[in-house]
Amino acid sequence: MSSRTKVAVVQMTSRDDVDENLETAERLVREAAADGAKLAVLPECFAFLGPERGKLEIAEPLPEGGPILARCSALARSTGAELVLGGFWEKGESASHVRNACVHLGPGGEVRAVYRKVHLFDVDLPDGTLLRESETVEPGGETVVTDACFGTLGLSVCYDLRFPELYRRLVDAGAIALAIPSAFTLTTGKDHWHVLLRARAIESQAWVLAAAQYGHHLGNRRSYGHALIADPWGTVVAECSDGEGFASAWLDVGQVARVRRALPSLTHRRL
């Protein structure tokens, strides 16, 4: 295994047209793979971000999947790149709820791991944004790490970012990189996105791969964007500007070891 692997995080504006969203995701992943990326992370809600009832209609069982997973698997096979499907709508236990799943696909299109979002976003923001994720999403209950092309990758989704104890568990399970695909709102993102991502990288001494939704989706729902990659020192080494695109960087496994050796805070934990 090489100590340096090129990885990418995708930024896109998903709405309620699944085919259009998937076409955008496919185009951006192909561009990232052509640029040398061996793993690409798609944002939360990449296939659908629209009215609540819509995600119930398109949800698919895992790991067997349906047409959405089939297209994503075909994309992995055709590019030879691993994919992290940042927020995949998975059928839930009841017809009224789905799961917000983060799915790791191998380069052969196979499902390697599935994480179900633990922390659900129920908020009433000052700008009038009212979101009640728990009304249609059932939470997961387990942390998940997976074997990626560069080493152990910890999986999470969006609002999980605000709960550092989850990332402690991922690091304890061997994670050297953290996938944090998101659809951060414009209101919270402009103040908290960079601070929280850099904090998770610094305290975990791990790479952070944060794909992001950007722009206007529906109603007053707007996402902040700024998909980025941060190194184990907390330095942002690649970042998207406005609009759709991707950011890529060389993930250096050796840098994790060097940072953890120079500043062994993970071994100094008392609680």
Is 117 noted as a catalytic residue in this protein?
A: yes
CA 86 to CA 107: how far, in whole Å? 16
Is 158 noted as a catalytic residue in this protein?
A: yes
> Measured in Å, how far apart are the chain's first and last C-alpha atoms?
34
Q: Which of 6, 44, 60, 244 is catalytic?
A: 44
Is 91 noted as a catalytic residue in this protein?
A: no
Contact status, residue 87 vs residue 117, Cβ threshold 8 Å: yes
> The sheet that has 228-230: what strands, in order across it?
145-148, 151-155, 177-179, 207-210, 228-230, 236-239
Q: Which of 72, 90, 117, 239 is catalytic?
A: 117
How many angstroms separate the Cα of 202 from the Cα of each of 115, 145, 198, 259?
A: 23, 19, 6, 10
Q: Which of 45, 72, 158, 240 is catalytic?
A: 158
Q: What is the dihedral of CA 133, 136, 142, 144, to 10 degrees?
A: -80
Residue 139: CB atoms within 10 A of its CB come to: 14
Contact status, residue 28 vs residue 72, Cβ threshold 8 Å: no
Running DSSP on this structure, what letter comes out for residue 182?
B
**Active-site residue list:** 44, 117, 158
